[in-house]
Amino acid sequence: MTGAMSDEQRAGGILSAVSSALVTLHKEQFGRGPTRARANFAGADTLVCVLDDALLPAERVMVRLGDQQRVREARAALQAATSDQFVDAIERIVNRTVVAFASAIDADQGVVWELFNFEPAGPRNDGAGPRVAGS
């Protein structure tokens, strides 16, 4: 290969940028970011990011006290209030329109999942992996 970036390399760069952006957004929006993040495409039109060790100190105390449900409810409210920032960041990085966004948390494990569904980019149904901007 002579300088041309493969689809796999381009997707890897996008996934790394997504992980970094979501860690940054968590730090900005919640005051603390996760210690580990990894993003993957789940088919052609879905992106999943897993954020480990994502709980705030007060949330960890609530979990120790058995109040996981309150942590889940508070996180859901915060994510709803900040969803535009998350969607905007992902759309800029992936260069695709997000049509659905959800966030989930396992309070006991301190894991957060950020899920993005994209508007279908075209007729490609060959299972060959993600559609990447410019491919």
Q: How many helices (H) and strands (E) does the chain have?
A: 3, 4
Q: pLDDT digit string (tens) for 94-119?
A: 999 999 999 999 999 999 999 999 99
Q: Look at residues 77, 130, 67 and name the one whose alpha carbon lies nearest to residue 103.
A: 77
Residue 23 near residue 38, CB atoms below 8 Å: no
% residues pLDDT > 70 (the chain): 83
C-alpha–C-alpha distance, residues 62 and 68, integer Å: 7
Mean predicted confidence (pLDDT) in 28-38: 90
Residue with tokens 């890897």: 12
Of 2, 54, 26, 15, which Cα lies nearest the Cα of 133? Answer: 15
> If you compute the radius of gyration of the chain from its CA atoms, what whole number of angstroms results?
16
Quick one: pLDDT at residue 79?
A: 86
Instruction: Give me the DSSP letters along 82-118.
Output: HHHHHHHHHHHHH-S-EEEEEEEEETTTTEEEEEEEE
What number is the average pLDDT over the span 17-24? 95
